[in-house]
Structure 1
């Protein structure tokens, strides 16, 4: 059986995307499918063809990713990866990953990132789980919030989500450098936040948007659905939060109080929030919030030196890293990282190794949410010089948990 990997042509998009849906066992709503078509970068997408049939897909988006220190670093957003069930275990995925990472390197992007449908797949290609996402079901009828000063001064008003989208996007853009893992949205990507196909509401309301304002200035917003539910004659509806961003603690808390107080509801349901989301420190009873944390964004350094130079470090650091990278061997070797809060330099060296790790562990620790110390405790990082692990682990840490606000 002969297969060929080639760049996606726009006229082939429907067949290409249908293979993706087949592999995932889904069928997207027309609104979402149109969005996916509009943001697909065909020149960065590839298909595996067997005769006239598409049997494999993979794409990439030209993202900029926030890293510790606030820089927005070019990153290939790996997406739409699939292999037809008739062509599994024949090396198609490996061939697409090989082609893709070679292309990313040629474009000079230091990083590749993805969200994994199956985490076990991507570790062998050098991707490490670097962020977490938190979900929760808060019993808002029984949990109270302790609001910080100034929350009572925030004005709240409902608005059409599409009509106020430009204002919300401006606020979102200001938040991106503040938290590693967030994406600077490309033109057209702002629409993702207001996609609202009726067939996927599950009986809930159309998308709602509440704005938080201070003296006429937008300082926060939340987008959500309300899911009505009655137990006998008792209302037990759910507020299903889609997005929430705020400039300061007062606006943030005022938005959460609004969500807690919506009539005919008894719970607030979250599906993707930062692991350190501050509402957890405002609630009166965290045990009634059913918090769960799972993996989020996977990060792969494509150019180790450029990637480590692109971020800053919490404290001064001077350490020699021995990196192994079987899939991208140009990264293998010893690298001296010297830097601190104002910047860093990372270059090849012949000096003795002080920490040994694979590129997968480096990707996991890169955004500051996974401790090098924890990876060492799991046997995935080895300390070669006494004290090097503590110094590097402290330097790599982020003061806020890295977080990917939406999939791609």
Structure 2
């Protein structure tokens, strides 16, 4: 059969998206969810592979601005909606879409591509490294106590409608973005994503609820959550699911977590995606009773090595030459000299001897500061060629705040 790879025609979106749904199990999304993704789709940045009139491959790239160490918002392609029809596997369709997409991203002048993976093993061969992880947990509020910071009692909590409070929540979120690598500045239309709450997806839980944290008339934090009422012979056994939480200071954050852990008729708080260094872990009396676990979150790909490494900050001065391997994007191959200090960073091609050898995948993993180059070296994925160079680079690439992607795309 002959297939054709081309940019998505908006008139083909329904057929294109139906193939995506089929590839992910064939369960149709709620109309409101489907409508939002159609509204957010940028057709000129989305690809389809067609076999006659049938879409057999899909891939897209949202135009994002991603926070990197130092707070700069870097243009990044948010790779999304990647699928290949089961009938057309092992024909090179995925590779052809990844090839075209990365060429396009480079032409658009975006030095980074990022994604969340349904199957993490797929994307390493295209140069993506796991750059940020996420934590989930279930706090047993019948056994766990919270110790909140001073000032939490001065924070006023106000229950409100999630839709009406969206502007206040977004203002808090926007102030948090530069302070944590991996967060996305909300582009127009994306403020609706955290409010998606189709009834069919609630699993018996309440509609989305919202509480604002205020001090002196200013909103300093928010939590969006749902409650699932449950009862046993012994009494109430409901659960709270945290959908979204942001706070501008420790007192506001502590007040919000205390509220979530003390809602009447509940015995647990379920956390599905929070930073690995999130504050709640240091507020609880017994971390074991919270059963925290981690999984991969954001996968990062340096599309332009020199530009990407020049745009982030480094926590220590560094002068190191990387020997970079990148078979899929050969324009990145070769030696790059990274120099950085308090005044800024610069990464340019060089003929000087290499100090550290690695692939672009390892650079992506370390880029946001959450994965140590020394840990990758211990796994045999980074090689030190000049004594001392690896530790220097690892310290510089680290960052005091763990990277985190606040929501999928």
Correspondence for 1:199: 200
Correspondence list, 1:272-291, <5 A? 272-291=273-292
1:136 and 1:299 mapped to 2: Cα distance? 25
Runs of 4+ in structure 1 deviating by more than 4 angstroms, as ranges, are: none
Name 2:12's counterpart in structure 1.
12
What's the secondary structure of 1:131's corresponding residue? Answer: strand
For 2:180, the equivalent position in structure 1 comes to 179
Match of 1:404 in 2: 405
Partner of 1:190: 191
Q: How far 1:141 sits from its partner (Å)?
A: 1.7
TM-score (norm 1): 0.99
Aligned-CA RMSD value: 0.6
| 1:130-279 matches, cutoff 5 A | 130-279=131-280
CA distance in 2, matches of 1:383, 1:393: 11
Matched, 1:120 2:127: no
CA contact (8 A) 1:312 1:342 kept: no
In 1, Cα distance between equivalents of 2:106 and 2:178: 24
Q: How far apart are the structure 2 equivalents of 1:143 and 1:95?
A: 51
Match of 2:344 in 1: 343
Query: In the TM superposition, what is the alpha-carbon distance from 1:341 to its structure 2 partner?
Result: 3.7
How far off is 1:233 after superposition?
3.8
Runs of 5+ in structure 1 lacking a partner?
none
User: How far apart, in 2, do the equivalents of 1:103 and 1:205 lie?
Assistant: 43
Deviations 1:23-79, CA, capped at 9 Å, x for gaps: 011321111101110100101001001111110000000000000000000000000
Structure 2-normalised TM-score? 0.99
Q: How does 1:39-78 map to 2 (within 5 A)?
A: 39-78=40-79
**3-state SS, counterpart of residue 261 of structure 1:** coil
Cα displacement string for residues 97-131 of structure 1 (whole angstroms, at most 9, x for unaligned residues): 00000000001100000001111110000000000
CA deviation profile, 1:290-335 (whole Å, cap 9, x unmatched): 0000100000000000000000100000000000000000000000
Alpha-carbon distance in 1 for matches of 2:263, 2:9: 48
- Deviations for 1:136-158, whole angstroms, at most 9, x for unmatched residues? 00001211111111000000011
- Structure 1 residues 337-346 or 106-115, which shifts more? 337-346
